């Protein structure tokens, strides 16, 4: 059975891939986290491989606004060490943007795999990022979430700064809840944690904390909860870096301490000044800082293959007794397809099916196997082969088709006029709707009205290759009418 919690399963991907089918081909899942999923796609217009980030289905409101803000901010930056944003859009409430695919590990992944960085690895990873940060700061953009996971390496070993999701710009009108700080607790500056307010010196602090981590292998502040980690930096300094990693040059430890000063007036006044201080240290200490990271394996991004997309179903046919669904409450079948719940993955529909007939299809019993021929008692018999599992043949060859629909109950019609809600329905072997998942909607009230109506719908069930009903899912879109 396909598990919706599995990272390779994404309810939104089939719908979005269908809507963007003329522009992108979805190939692999690259990663999935709290804010959404990132896919490897082929840009069909430019014939090149890119990454496409999709906002998670459980996030909306301020999160969607922040996601759009990230795309616009990153797209305004033009620096070779910043991941380039190419396009941005929204499809039925699903936000996405495409960007360069930086096909290599993050600094976080490199740290976990190989431990604290050698000085040349550290210098080649950090100096280009400080240069990119100076470029962003020059345009009035503060990153506010610098951490090893947001610095990506390409296959050559060159770093790229990514994820401007909580960036702040001069023109930004992004509002946050009172008392809510944005950023990762292990790396944010004290003032960012206290008030949420930050200038470019907050990024300087985060770079110091990041360097502390990749040079020592441990975070500058420890705690059992994110709150404890944040509170710890408000009234004390971290354990001296040389104490955590003996033998580290004093000059380098001093640069990190300056960057992490609790009083922001004591920090470097710009990313460029911090970069110049590190460059001078490297030159004096004979540390190679130019060029890509070398001497370490740089595996490409992990990829999870995606199941093939189903074909788009035909429009719904008349219901029982020739009755058509009410024109005021028309359902349009969306892209979706058949999600196999018998545990066999996805399969494309091999042919167009005739319109559904309002009668139950008989289920043909499987033919009985012929009796074994008689054998001589003295002749040994070969061991019988295990019969294939009965469900192995029950792979849907068609998808559920709508037969009967009902309008949402109550007075939601006027409040939801012109709205659209996209849902995935689990249709049982008897054609009844057994489950409903909202993919995209408007207000919670409209989404709930659509869900309740969908649970009453009747479908012609999906059929396997032998014409037997099977449990499967399909995605539909409900459009509330503009008027009577």
Query: For residue 98, what are the contacts with CB-CB under 8 A and spacing of at least 6?
Result: 24, 41, 43, 50, 51, 52, 53, 85, 86, 87, 88
Residue 391 DSSP symbol:
G
In terms of phi and psi (left: phi > 0; alpha: psi -120 to 50; beta: otherwise), the region of 239 is beta
CA dihedral 39, 43, 49, 55 (to 10 degrees): -20
Residue 434 DSSP symbol:
E
- For residue 294, the tally of other CB atoms under 10 A from its CB is 12
Residue 308 backbone phi and psi in degrees, to 5: -65, 150
Residue 88 DSSP symbol:
E
Instruction: For residue 47, give both structure tokens.
Output: 């014939």
- 145 is a catalytic site residue: yes
Instruction: For residue 386, give both structure tokens.
Output: 């295990």
SS3 at position 115: coil
Q: Measure the CA–CA gap between 422 and 437, rounded to whole angstroms.
A: 9
Residue corresponding to tokens 């408000």 = 234
**DSSP symbols for 48-109:** EEEEEEEE-TT--THHHHHHHHHHHHHHT---TTBPPEEEEEEETTEEEEEE----S-BHHH
- For residue 289, the tally of other CB atoms under 10 A from its CB is 20
Q: Measure the CA–CA gap between 479 and 421, rounded to whole angstroms.
A: 7
Beta-strand pair 458-460/401-404: antiparallel
E-strand ranges in 237-374 read: 304-305, 331-333
| Of 145, 163, 203, 464, catalytic | 145
In terms of phi and psi (left: phi > 0; alpha: psi -120 to 50; beta: otherwise), the region of 179 is left
Distances (CA, A) of 100 to 17, 40, 109, 374, 409: 18, 10, 19, 69, 47
Residue 223 DSSP symbol:
-
Q: Measure the CA–CA gap between 447 and 439, rounded to whole angstroms.
A: 10
Which residue numbers are catalytic? 145
């Amino acid at each position: 059975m396909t598990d919706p919690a599995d990272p390779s399963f994404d309810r939104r991907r089939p719908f979005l891939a269908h809507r963007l089918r003329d522009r992108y081909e979805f190939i692999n899942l690259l990663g999935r986290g709290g804010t959404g999923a990132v896919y490897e796609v082929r840009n069909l217009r430019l014939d090149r491989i890119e990454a496409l980030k999709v906002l998670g289905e459980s996030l909306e409101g301020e999160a969607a606004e922040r996601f759009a803000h990230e795309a616009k901010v990153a797209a305004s930056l033009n620096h070779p060490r910043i991941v380039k944003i190419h396009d941005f859009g929204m499809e039925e409430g699903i936000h996405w943007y495409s960007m360069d695919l930086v096909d290599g590990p993050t600094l976080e992944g490199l740290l976990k795999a190989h431990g604290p960085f050698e000085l040349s690895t550290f210098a080649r990873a950090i100096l280009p990022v400080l240069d990119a940060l100076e470029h962003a700061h020059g345009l009035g953009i503060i990153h506010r979430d610098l951490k090893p996971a947001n610095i990506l390496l390409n296959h050559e070993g060159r770093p790229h700064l990514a994820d401007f999701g909580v960036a702040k710009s001069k023109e930004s009108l992004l509002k946050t809840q009172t008392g809510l700080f944005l950023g990762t607790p292990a790396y944010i500056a004290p003032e960012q944690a206290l008030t949420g307010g930050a200038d470019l010196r907050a990024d300087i602090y985060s770079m110091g904390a990041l360097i502390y981590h990749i040079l020592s292998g441990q975070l500058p502040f420890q705690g059992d909860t994110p709150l404890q980690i944040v509170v710890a930096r408000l009234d004390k300094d971290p354990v001296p870096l040389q104490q955590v990693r003996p033998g580290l040059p004093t000059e380098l430890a001093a640069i990190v301490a300056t960057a992490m000063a609790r009083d922001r007036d004591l920090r470097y006044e710009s990313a460029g000044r911090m970069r110049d201080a590190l460059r001078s240290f490297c030159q004096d200490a004979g540390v190679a800082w130019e060029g890509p990271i070398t001497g370490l394996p740089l595996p490409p991004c992990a990829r999870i293959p995606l199941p093939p997309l189903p074909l788009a179903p035909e429009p719904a046919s008349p219901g029982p007794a020739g009755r058509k669904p009410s024109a005021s409450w028309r359902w349009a079948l969306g892209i979706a397809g058949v999600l196999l719940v018998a545990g066999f993955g996805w399969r494309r529909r091999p042919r167009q099916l005739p319109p559904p007939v309002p009668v139950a299809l008989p289920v043909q019993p499987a033919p009985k196997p012929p009796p074994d021929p008689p054998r001589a008692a003295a002749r040994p018999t070969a061991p019988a082969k295990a019969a294939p599992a009965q469900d192995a043949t029950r792979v849907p060859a068609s998808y559920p088709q709508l037969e009967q629909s009902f309008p949402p109950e109550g007075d939601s019609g006027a409040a939801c006029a012109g709205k659209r809600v996209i849902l995935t329905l689990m249709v049982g072997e008897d054609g009844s709707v057994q489950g409903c998942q909202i993919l995209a909607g408007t207000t919670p009230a409209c989404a709930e009205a659509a869900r309740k109506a969908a649970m009453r719908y009747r479908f012609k069930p999906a059929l396997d290759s032998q014409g037997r009903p099977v449990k499967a899912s399909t995605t539909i879109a409900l459009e509330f009418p503009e008027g009577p």
